[in-house]
A and B are shown apart, each in its own frame.
Chain A
């Protein structure tokens, strides 16, 4: 049976979906979309160890009785005081920064600025989380997150953040858990991607 490579085909080409399609370097691994009733956590477990980097792209809203909330991330179910955080923040009026060394659960908030239940209806916070070299056991894990939301107003409930976080472990990341200070609201959705290295 003849096959045709899509590798160099334009969209005008013959897209016959052969078995030798090169999917490129960024591969979707899993997506979680919260249904009616919400969810207490979003978890990616048994993460394949065959990629070089991970990226999570998502949008979120929580059920907390407030305007704003933060997505909380943890790795390999580690809830200990092994996470730092730092951020650069803009709220439409001014820029600010804050950070801390290793702390407990309050410091696990580097995964997204999201809406609470009192935020403008249907507004979700967006977030992109980059985790480099997640299987490298010679490195602690540094996470970079670009996140924000707007409130269709000029108040400080609209913000953008560049977060960073250090997970003080050299373990390969196999599980990622995302929570809020309450529950995830319906339609919150997060997708996990693997990014390959050259030669992989």
Chain B
């Protein structure tokens, strides 16, 4: 049995926090990429954005979400990063329950192809209150180049706080 699910890189945020987490020089020998992200922001927005290959245009995004009391759906096109349609709450922010971090999985199939890049995510933000977020997102980035860099970025001057973790995995299909 061939192994199919490989660990590529791990980033754990240290004291002081960081404004972005960057996976550079991503190996091109897998079929898909997967990121497991457990994050919390230092400020009030709770928004984590993603960019690929330092591209700042051509993203579109569609989601289904729950807030703890209502469900809805949003979309956006022509944005500068993935997740731009979600203006709050895809990671924990500073007024959510202390020591609580989001639970998110990001899936990027066929990342080395010369077609546009599709992205899907499942994410939850827990909180000791009625308010809590669940997201299912899907998006596309209009670039043809293989993905070699992924940046996870906070909003404005905020940071990912200590103990936030991001893990990049490669998934290989039998071809």
Interface residues of A (CB under 8 A from B): 6-7, 9-11, 21-26, 52-53, 84, 86-90, 94-102, 130-133, 136, 138-140, 142-144, 146, 162-166, 168, 170, 195-200
Contact = CB atoms under 8 A, between A and B. Distances in A.
B7 A138 contact: no
Interface of B: 2-10, 36, 38, 64-73, 97, 99-105, 122-134, 136, 162-163, 165, 167-169, 174
Contacts of A94: 71
Nearest to B67: A97
A52 B68 contact: no
**Interface of chain B, helix or strand or loop or mixed?**
strand
A200 B52 CA distance: 27
B126 A26 contact: no
Contact of B126 (A88, A131, A142): A142
Contact of A164 (B5, B7, B103, B165): B103
B126 A198 contact: no
A139 B122 contact: no
B71 A95 contact: yes
Contacts, number: 167
A142 to B, nearest CB: 4
Nearest to B38: A132
A97 B134 contact: yes
A10 B10 contact: no
A100 B128 CA distance: 7
Given A97-B66, A132-B38, A52 B10 contact: yes
Contact of A101 (B73, B105, B128, B174): B128
A196 B123 CA distance: 20
Contacts of B136: 88, 162
Those 5 A-B pairs whose CB atoms lie nearest each other, nearest first: A97-B66, A99-B68, A88-B66, A164-B124, A24-B3
B5 A86 contact: no
A87 B126 contact: no
B70 to A, nearest CB: 6
B92 to A, nearest CB: 8
Contacts of A199: 7, 10
